[in-house]
Amino acid sequence: MDQAVQSAGRRALDDGFHRMRQVSRQSPPPSLETRRDRLARLRALILDHEERFNAAISADFSHRCAVETQIAETLSVLGEIKHTSKQLKAWMAPRRIATQLQFLPGNNRLLPQPLGVVGIIAPWNYPLQLTLAPAVAALAAGNLVMIKPSELTPRFAALLQETVAATFDPTEMVVTGIDDDIAEAFAALPFDHLMFTGSTRVGRIVAAAAGRNLTPVTLELGGKSPVIIDRSADLDQAAARIAYAKLLNAGQTCIAPDYVLVPQASLQAFAEKVRDAMTRMFGTEPGNADYTSIIADRHFARLEGLLADAQAHSANVVQTAKPDDAAWKALRKFPPTILTGVTSEMKIMQEEIFGPLLPILGYDEASEPIAFINARDRPLALYWFGTDEAARDEVLARTVSGGVTVNDCLVHFAQVNQPMGGVGASGSGAYHGEWGFTTFSKLKPVFYRSPYNRFADLYPPYGGRLKRLAALLRWLS
């Protein structure tokens, strides 16, 4: 890119941010009506341009089914807007906090306030949902919002930039360009809060850039989300649900099942059941319109490398179809692939897969899955299948993960009353529903002193009265 164009892009980014910052500092917090109006405009933006968004996302992927985009993205954001608009009045209200006896009849309140300007660095895998769901929370909390879409979804980014500019004032919400220069400069801006969704590797870079400004950061990352199949599980049911969750968006989902731990005696039968379920759902031909393409050539090549490394180390490969390289590659689709005989030394067990490859590993003792998971980074999600409640509760108590779904996959993400967030290498902070409102708010504690309370008068000169009062306070503490 021409240096003059780069400089102009950075100046526009800086100017836009500082205008927002000035407005946020000089204007009163937006009213309930203003916030609801912004959410209503965002809802109208999505509905008015839904078909255009579907087409842009599909073109960016090379192909993605519009139904998949609707289920995984559009309906999710619309539901978030509806829930938030309905609950917003209650969330904005001052919260009563208990007051210690010695300070009565004074009282405590917690006042939710907008932070100011919120930055959102969005990923490519669910570009609509993972861009606009955080924006819903930030707007509801009364903030101004600046969004940097992914460079891997340029058509979607251009459309979002166009539609946001036509719907919002540039001091309410704005979408930036997507070139690398803008991305670097964006993370370095002194936002009042910065949210990043993406890989752990890039998350570390973003966190370091934000740290130079002491900008608080919410990181929604990824990792290797495990599935545990208990001996009490219904294998047919588990296989179908795991197959769907793994192949949704061709596995390009941060909470997709990354690997499965199954009793050794059931391993081969379970692998065949997963293969059969994948075949029923997505067929065996690369032209299947329900099956999504891999986002870019380099990501396709990365998946090929993971598979080749596993095969070189003697993994057993089961594919739902024998791939014809030309046909699959022409559509940039990777055939659903199951691997057994997998070991920890293989690259596929050392990095997040983010594609339609599913390692299935066997275990003998019930304690082995817990030890295996706890020996690795904290996952973003964990899935458990079975009916043995004692075994389930043991896993829940002894593992730490961002979230859990029992007897299904992915579904905890759709719970608007539950927080979505990682832990450790899989992220920090949370959003969704009221949790998102809280993330993008300052909950300011305020104490209102009563004129009838004299316990707080601890002024010198200290004498016997103060000593007696201190003794009373010690007794009350």
Q: Which of helix, strand or coil describes residue 44?
A: helix
Counting every residue written for the chain, the total comes to 477
Strand partners, 120: 147, 195
Name which of 202, 78, 180, 62 is nearest 128 in CA terms: 78
- Check 68, 73, 80, 254 and give the catalytic one: 254
Classify burial at 364, counting beta carbons within 10 Å of its beta carbon; exposed 0-12, middle 13-18, buried 19 or more.
exposed
Cβ-contact 135, 167 below 8 angstroms: no
Query: Residues 6 or more apart from 462 whose CB is under 8 A from it?
Result: none
Give the residue carrying structure tokens 């102009």. Answer: 8
In angstroms, the CA 265 to CA 220 distance is 36
**What gap in Å lies between CA 66 and CA 51, rounded to an integer?**
8
* Token digits of residue 298: 């380099």
- Find the farthest-apart pair of alpha carbons in the chain and give their distance in angstroms, rounded: 92
Q: Which one is catalytic: 220, 352, 409, 434? A: 220
Report CA torsion sign: 161, 164, 166, 170.
Answer: negative
Answer whether 103's CB lies under 8 Å from 456's CB: yes
Active site (annotated) includes residue 254: yes
Active site residue 220: yes
Give the separation between CA 158 and CA 177, rounded to whole angstroms: 8
Q: Which residues contact 263 (CB under 8 A, 6 or more apart)?
A: 229, 231, 362, 363, 364
- 10 Å CB burial of residue 306 (0-12, 13-18, 19+) is buried
Instruction: Please list the active-site residues.
Output: 220, 254
